[in-house]
Amino acid sequence: MSNPSFPEQLQELWRTRPVRLPSRGPLAGVAAGIGHRYGVDPVLVRVAFAVSTIFGGVGIVLYLACWLLLPRAGDQASAAESLVGRGHSSESGTRTVVLAVALVIAMSTLGPVGVGLGGSGLVSLALMLGGLWLLHQRRPVPPPLPAGVVPDAFAAPPASGYPGTGYPSWFGGYTAPGAYATLPKTYEPTPGFKATPPAPPAPEAGAPAAPDPAPRVDDAVGHGGAATPDAPSAPEAPSTPASPFGPEPTPPSWDPLGVAPFAWDLPEPTPPPPPAVPAPPKSRLTSTVLGIAILVTVAAWAVGAATGTQWLSAGQLGAVALAVIGVGLVVGAFLRRGYGLLVVTGPLIGFVVLASLIGPVDWNSQNVGTRTWQFTSADQLESRYSGQVGDFTLDLGGVTLTKDRTVDIDLGVGSFTVLVPPNMDVRNHCSMALGDVMCLPEGIDGGADGIGGPVLTLNLTGKVGDLTVDRG
């Protein structure tokens, strides 16, 4: 048997895609359907959607796409397929159009504050699709619907394959009998049954035997012979009367020899209950991997602190723990264990991404917290200002330039605001990795009196937060 190609595996993934189970979960039963199809806890599926929504906004896009592309249990096709005329779905056309519009809007604003698929969004999308592929490889054959889930009553049966195979719809009806029954007015015997006439009484002793009755003329004529007294009548086929008591009873299983017929009406003995299926042993893979990750991370931090290494930042320590958990997930994929590691993986990925953007933080420096620089002379102005974590303000409202100056501003996490005089000529360049930027227009902004005089050039860069340049 040859291994299927990658396109064939994709077709099989689509053909055996999950069905939605609205009765088993909120919001159209997407997470419940995915969890039942691939044998995972629906809570973990919801956590994965929530984490991917926080880091990149991919979760809401994938959830809406699943709502449109996964058929409901008992439906012939999904809502999207029904909208283009490729089958019947219980979802209304109006709801399908609303979901499609919401999906387009979510895709256009993918990521926090319009960041798009860059950074964490791309990582979240790759992790979600990769997890789906691994789950399909682990469980390629779909299970039957869970007990208690009844397909729609009049859904047309699908052509072939999962999710329709194995879940036929029910057509037809059953009319319950009325409260009263009417007996027939006349009795009609069962066709083919011939009653046996009663036997004549035995003659008394000494009495002469009664002569045989003369043959009937009708019998002779009916058999084609002459109507003469000497013509014997044709013998009739003997008829076996039906037993009024039905078939003879047979011995039950507990009396195979039939020695106690008086007790055959007793019920059969209750069979012994089936042996209880032992519960599978609880896996310790999750706790073991988490323990190893903690030990390895603490050991790396201890080595860095003992040797005075400065490169081992919080993001790099988180990456060490994430690498150990990733190895545990790979091992768990083959052993079908360790699903609890998914709960830790999502938040840890977010921490690593955020810590990598921020970089190392010196909590003992003056660039942490809330700080304001305020000057009244251009001689006091420095060429560089930075803030690691917190809210920072550079107030230049009382400064008058005598020559062109350039100031570089660097922000880690938080907000940085620069206030310039109303008439100062300002050229600003603002760049933020993740956050909002509210600066003056591009080029030289002359203020209230127009362009003319020394120019202040501001170069603002930030990682996470807000950058603002305004006139005071």
What digits encode the pLDDT tens for the residues 244-276? 555 677 877 777 777 777 777 777 777 777 777
pLDDT tens digits, 347-391: 888 888 877 777 666 655 667 788 889 888 888 888 899 888 889
Task: Identify the DSSP state of 260.
Answer: -
User: What residues does 436 pair with on adjacent strands?
Assistant: 466
**Is 48 a residue whose pLDDT tops 90?**
no
**Cα separations in angstroms, 400 against 380, 397, 424, 456:** 11, 8, 8, 10
Q: Are the C-beta atoms of residues 410 and 440 closer than 8 Å to each other?
A: no
Across 327-353, b (16+ Cβ under 10 Å) vs e yields ebbeebeeeebbbbbbbbbbebbbbbb
Q: Are the C-beta atoms of residues 230 and 217 closer than 8 Å to each other?
A: no
Q: What is the band of 81 on the pLDDT scale with cuts at 50, 70, 90?
A: confident
Closest CA to 462 of 363, 381, 367, 358: 358
| pTM of this structure | 0.39
Name the residue ranges covered by the structural domains of the chain: 6-138, 285-358, 368-471
Which residue is it, tokens 């035997």?
A: 209
| From 214-228, 231-245, 402-416, the region with the lowest mean pLDDT | 214-228
User: What residues does 369 pair with on adjacent strands?
Assistant: 390
**Is 462 a residue whose pLDDT tops 60?**
yes
Which token pair is 424?
């100062």
Closest CA to 70 of 35, 24, 28: 28
Q: Are the C-beta atoms of residues 103 and 69 closer than 8 Å to each other?
A: no
User: What residues does 429 pair with on adjacent strands?
Assistant: 459
Q: How high is the mean pLDDT of the chain?
A: 75
The angle at the Cα of 93, spanning 87 to 97, to the nearest 5 degrees, equals 115
Q: How far apart are CA 16 and CA 8, in angstroms?
A: 12
pLDDT tens digits, 132-176: 888 888 888 888 888 766 554 434 444 444 444 443 333 333 333
Q: Are the C-beta atoms of residues 416 and 387 closer than 8 Å to each other?
A: yes
Dihedral of CA atoms 266, 271, 273, 274 in degrees, nearest 10, equals -160
